[in-house]
Chain A
Amino acid sequence: MAVTVVSLSACENARTDTLIQSSQIQDDALPEPLIDIEGEAKEGEQIFDSRDAGHCVLCHQINGLDVEFQGDVGPELTGVGARLTPGQIRLRIVDYQRVQPGVTMPSYYRIHDLNQVGEEFEGQPVLTAEQIEHLVAFLSDQKG
């Protein structure tokens, strides 16, 4: 019945260095890829589904996906590629809070202005630039 009790070691880790610059954002989009790779939709699907990666299905649903139980906290993403540009999708994953303060969607490529981040996650984004490019490719492919 032992429980790991971790004492508080970092109560405020408000880093100000940002992974993307405001100048990269155009309206509600981040048009340029984060790194110079061709995102692969198949990889992206894996990241979308997997508990160890993005686990986007925790909150989002895409019709026809081979996943048991998809969440509905966030908007449904069936056909999202027909509604949003790759750049809009990218910013929504990277750091939507930049243009929509208070939005529930977590920022998956951000290390700045966070509070009480767990020691093992400090200074790291949730996903890598490469993973996000794969996700953008997968979601852009969802034409409905």
Chain B
Amino acid sequence: MIRLAACLLILLTSCSPTADVTLPDDAIATKDLQSGSAFLTEETRALQEDDFENPGLLWVERGADLFVDTSASSKSCADCHDEQLKGVAASYPQLDELSAELVNLEKRINLCRARHQDLPELTYESDDLLALTAYVANQSHGAPITVAVTEETRASYEAGEAYFYTPRGQFNLACNQCHNENWGKKLRGDTISQGHGNGFPAYRYEWQSFGSLHRRLHDCDTGVRAEPFTLGSQTYIDLEYYLAVRANGLPVESPAIRR
């Protein structure tokens, strides 16, 4: 395990960029940023925007129920958070001051359960964790992503950036080769998107269900025939963080629909 961690560390630091958060040469200019929904068909975009037909709303509704649920704990989420979660998801991932760790929404929800509700962690990718995440994310629907890099989070940002730019797998492809250099082009009938996470958790046609950004990252890794990381792993949280900073300004769209 230690060897594995050391190996991972080498992997992630071997091509770290310089300390400043300067955008790399091939980065997409802010004015050219486009959400994944820009690459959908008109019909799918309409479905995403339909407050009755979007299938992701089933998870949002389930999340709303769980948010006020007190059957397993003396305190529900709503007992602490009333209207205060509007816009919050737009600033995630962010630093958890107590543990000094970078956390995403899913991890924040599980930390809340442990610290304030005396409840066990929800399994990553479980319907309940997806539902609560979608419910919280949906309260920021339309809010621009605003994720900052601070001295405390710089290492995570750099780790995520290194992951984005490191070729991997049997196909030896890095994220930037598709999502910075070739977005808008066609892979057979599909248009390559810019690879933003602002729609997740999202309903994905390929899954025929609702899933997290980490599940999507897992699919990208297996797509280039790389050994994927575990959903909820720090590696994917760091990458999620890098992607969020890269997408700053795009609106939160969860629950989005994606191919």
Query: CB within 8 Å of B: which residues of A?
Result: 1, 3, 5-12, 57-59, 68-73, 97, 104, 106-107, 110, 114-119, 121, 124, 126
B170-A126 in contact (CB<8A): yes
Q: In the bound complex, how far is the Cα of B10 from the Cα of A115, in angstroms? A: 12
A116-B188 in contact (CB<8A): no
Residues of B within 8 A of A9 (CB): 227
Q: Whole-angstrom distance from the CB of A11 to the nearest CB of chain B?
A: 5
Residues of B within 8 A of A5 (CB): 124-125, 218, 230-231
Determine which of A57, A59, A69, A118 lies in contact with B170 in the assembled complex, contact meaning CB atoms within 8 Å.
Answer: A118
A114-B172 in contact (CB<8A): yes
A1-B189 in contact (CB<8A): no
Q: In the bound complex, how far is the Cα of B224 from the Cα of A107, in angstroms? A: 12
B186-A118 in contact (CB<8A): no
Q: A106-B170, A118-B225 known; 15 other A-B pairs, CB under 8 Å?
A: A1-B210, A3-B211, A5-B218, A5-B230, A6-B230, A8-B233, A68-B189, A70-B188, A114-B169, A114-B170, A115-B169, A115-B172, A117-B225, A118-B227, A121-B170
Determine which of B11, B187, B188, B222 lies in contact with A11 in the assembled complex, contact meaning CB atoms within 8 Å.
Answer: B11
Q: Whole-angstrom distance from the CB of A50 to the nearest CB of chain B?
A: 12
B125-A72 in contact (CB<8A): no
Q: In the bound complex, how far is the Cα of B189 from the Cα of A57, in angstroms? A: 10
Q: Whole-angstrom distance from the CB of B187 to the nearest CB of chain A?
A: 5
Closest residue of chain B to A7 (Cβ to Cβ) is B230
Q: Whole-angstrom distance from the CB of A74 to the nearest CB of chain B?
A: 9
Evaluate whether A11 and B7 lie within 8 angstroms (CB atoms) in the complex, with A57-B188, A73-B186, A116-B168 already known.
yes
Q: Whole-angstrom distance from the CB of A109 to the nearest CB of chain B?
A: 11
Determine which of B172, B215, B222 lies in contact with A118 in the assembled complex, contact meaning CB atoms within 8 Å.
Answer: B222
Q: Whole-angstrom distance from the CB of B55 to the nearest CB of chain A?
A: 13
Residues of B within 8 A of A97 (CB): 172
A1-B125 in contact (CB<8A): yes
Q: Whole-angstrom distance from the CB of B83 to the nearest CB of chain A?
A: 30
Residues of B within 8 A of A73 (CB): 178, 182, 185-187, 192
Q: Does B50 have its Cβ within 8 Å of any Cβ on chain A?
A: no
Q: Whole-angstrom distance from the CB of B223 to the nearest CB of chain A?
A: 10
Residues of B within 8 A of A117 (CB): 168-170, 225-227
Q: In the complex, which of the residues B169, B192, B221 has the most CB atoms of chain A within 10 Å of its own CB atom? A: B169
B227-A106 in contact (CB<8A): no
Q: Does B67 have its Cβ within 8 Å of any Cβ on chain A?
A: no
Residues of A within 8 A of B4 (CB): 8, 11
A-B contacts, 21 listed (Cβ < 8 Å): A5-B124, A5-B125, A5-B218, A5-B230, A5-B231, A8-B227, A8-B229, A11-B8, A11-B227, A12-B11, A57-B188, A69-B189, A71-B186, A72-B185, A73-B182, A106-B172, A114-B170, A117-B170, A118-B170, A118-B226, A126-B225
Q: In the bound complex, how far is the Cα of B49 from the Cα of A73, in angstroms? A: 30
Q: Whole-angstrom distance from the CB of B139 to the nearest CB of chain A?
A: 23
Closest residue of chain A to B235 (Cβ to Cβ) is A8
A115-B211 in contact (CB<8A): no
Q: In the complex, which of the residues A9, A118, A124 has the most CB atoms of chain B within 10 Å of its own CB atom? A: A118
Residues of B within 8 A of A6 (CB): 227-228, 230
